[in-house]
Amino acid sequence: MAFPFMEAVVCFMILMYLFESYLDLRQHAALKLPTLPKTLEGVISQEKFEKSRAYSLDKSNFHFVHEFFTILMDSAILFFGILPWFWKKSGEFLVLAGLDAENEIFHTLAFLAGVTFWSQITDLPFSLYSTFVIEARHGFNKQTIWLFFRDMIKGIALAVVIGPPIVAAIIVIVQKGGPYLAIYLWGFMFVLSLVMMTLYPILIAPLFNKFTPLPDGELRAKIESLASSLKFPLKKLFVVDGSTRSSHSNAYMYGFFNNKRIVLYDTLLQQCKKDEEVVAVIAHELGHWKLNHTMYSFIAVQILTFLQFGGYTLVRNSKDLFQSFGFDTQPVLIGLIIFQHTVIPLQHLVSFGLNLVSRSFEFQADAFAKKLGYSLALRAGLVKLQEENLSAMNTDPWYSAYHYSHPPLVERLAALDEPDKKAD
């Protein structure tokens, strides 16, 4: 008797949903606490705390509804054989369109088009509610309904342009890969990731946002001086109009080798009134670069990608696996989708491990900025960003340990203060 792979996957999905819902309930209880953590008393204003609490509870309530709908739909799709039905219907559509349904690339693209359309339709009400009700209610949403749909249409257009060549290449590699299939697949994805990392900020990101050079002045001089002192090869310094869509703030860097760029959200400049606070945030980001965190993360992703493809090659010819999910053929893309479902338990463990590493990196980057003399400015900047973004002030330790890639503010401030206390 064949192993019931599909039933096992659905059971695990439901178990994980129940476990994560328990963590969500713990976090919801923490968010309802009427007082600030002692560490933040006198640091965060009561007004900002009340706003943060209301915003976090709104998002939490929405999250419960969204996750319940998602687990119902995902379980039903697998349990009632919607995927094989979709595959069959996409083949019939090709025949009606006068195309070759036996061509796996055409069949796969038709299948993906249908799945993408379905996912856009089912997710649209949640996206609209999140953006135009929750985010708007708490003063974050800045985009119009026209801009929302324009972004969505641009995203679909990009998928139509970029997706088919990538899908076709993967299918051809799997069909002709032979014993070195995992290496070929990983090599293709490695090159693709480098190409996308190069093209995204130059060609794709400007389709959605406007990037302008940071004007000459004291802030630019301070950032350039900091980058120079660390031998960071800063080539360009941009401000992006994040405020056209949201008042949330951020900063990031990108680029290979000696061609680095730093991008500041205009909302960050609006929220951190003092230049030193912005420079301290940049010092933290430069800490990630100096300590090779970006490189370590990239290498970890490449190793995990290779291992995933290695696992896929072991099961891609398993007729029992495909039949368990209702397929009487073994298409490449379907094999990848099924494999992803079967390794969900491992993915959860890996995600948890990566979050632990990420939080460690954040503490190290904070410590790096502190060594450069930005302790007070970074402290003030972190508090300002926490306040302005209305981030959760009270967090459940189990929830944050499982979900957070960044430590809660309370822990980051304690870590920044700790060396000072020891010095006393």
- DSSP H helical ranges for 177-318: 181-199, 205-208, 218-229, 266-271, 275-290, 293-315
Q: Are 267 and 249 in contact (CB under 8 A)?
A: yes
Ordered DSSP codes for 14-25: HHHHHHHHHHHH
Q: For residue 396, indicate whether it is catalytic.
A: no
From 366, 387, 388, 396, active-site residue: 366
Q: What is the Cα–Cα distance from 2 to 323, expressed in whole angstroms?
A: 9
φ and ψ at residue 368, rounded to 5 degrees: -65, -45
Q: Which two tokens stand for residue 409?
A: 């503010």
Which residues are annotated as part of the binding site?
A: 284, 288, 362
From 285, 388, 396, 411, active-site residue: 285
Tell me which amino acid residue 414 is.
A
Q: Which two tokens stand for residue 192?
A: 């693709």
Which residues are annotated as part of the binding site for Zn(2+)?
A: 284, 288, 362
Q: What is the Cα–Cα distance from 267 to 372, expressed in whole angstroms?
A: 25
- 53, 205, 264, 321 from 2: Cα distances, Å: 51, 48, 55, 9
Q: What is the Cα–Cα distance from 249 to 281, expressed in whole angstroms?
A: 11
- 16, 71, 104, 124, 398 from 66: Cα distances, Å: 15, 9, 34, 12, 21
- 54, 99, 203 from 115: Cα distances, Å: 36, 19, 27
Q: What is the Cα–Cα distance from 321 to 131, expressed in whole angstroms?
A: 40
Bridge partners of residue 262, in order along the sequence: 237, 253
Q: Which two tokens stand for residue 419?
A: 């060396």
Q: What is the Cα–Cα distance from 401 to 407, expressed in whole angstroms?
A: 9
Distant-in-sequence, close-in-space partners of 220: CB < 8 Å, separation ≥ 6? 214, 237
Q: What is the Cα–Cα distance from 159 to 166, expressed in whole angstroms?
A: 10
Is 245 in a helix, a strand, or coil? Answer: coil
Q: What is the Cα–Cα distance from 114 to 39, expressed in whole angstroms?
A: 51
Q: For residue 366, indicate whether it is catalytic.
A: yes
Active-site residue list: 285, 366
